[in-house]
Amino acid sequence: MKVIHKEKIMVCVHYGPHGERLIRRGIQLSELIGAPLYVLNVESSDSDEYNQSKEMFMTVWKRLAEEAGAEFMVRKRRGRKTTDVIVEAAEEKEVTQIIIGQSAQTLWQELTKRNFVNELISKMKMMDLHVVAVQRMRAGLEETHEEGVISYLVKTGDTYQLSDEPNGPDSIKGKYFHELHTEFENGLFRFEQDGKARYLHICEGVLTDPL
């Protein structure tokens, strides 16, 4: 007798504006195949230090998950690899499909250090992996951000701050996309590097991604 396994979907989100779009992708797939949905956030830090930008994203994600009838989960790494935490949560919930996002400036910072996708696949058992290209999600940037305006990243000490005017030879010209529904300078800064567009995260007017 053939055993039929019920599909279960888990979306993995980190901190950034693309998390909402990943969750919506998961909701669409969940509704399409009638599968339960889980949303997982892996804490990269083990500390309980308050982060206003992080809390803003978490509030939106929790609301989306609740409206979709999904379970929202937060797991701390506690010195482990992110891939191990993801697989552990997936096995606990008997998940069959995992959704993650990938880009040159990935929300999962470990992608800059190793091949995250291959590492995750090697640890998954009886699960399918959906890798959503952030480049595709950027086509809908107007859904989550205001129209881009010419701005500059100005070096101040060891950091870069968002500015309307250049200041010094290290200033970087680009476009700033302010995130909707926030009064703070939170959003994305786009500029050209080696002929390719790069998107960097801005939190309260300060660059948070490595150049």
Question: What is the C-alpha to C-alpha distance for residues 75 and 207, in angstroms, rounded to an integer?
Answer: 26
Checking if the pLDDT of 107 tops 50, the result is: no
Task: Express each pLDDT in 7-40 by its tens digit.
Answer: 999 999 876 667 888 898 999 999 999 999 999 9
Average pLDDT of the chain is 80
- Per-residue confidence (pLDDT) for residue 38, from 0 to 100: 97
- Per-residue confidence (pLDDT) for residue 109, from 0 to 100: 44
Half-sphere CA count of 160, side-chain side, radius 13 A: 22
Question: What is the C-alpha to C-alpha distance for residues 57 and 179, in angstroms, rounded to an integer?
Answer: 11
Task: Express each pLDDT in 142-182 by its tens digit.
Answer: 556 667 789 999 998 889 999 999 998 889 999 988 876 55
Which residues share a beta bridge with 196? 193
pTM beyond cutoff 0.95: no
- Per-residue confidence (pLDDT) for residue 196, from 0 to 100: 81
Helix/strand/coil for 42: strand
- Per-residue confidence (pLDDT) for residue 26, from 0 to 100: 93
204: left (phi over 0), alpha (psi -120 to 50) or beta: left
Cβ 76 vs Cβ 46: under 8 Å: yes
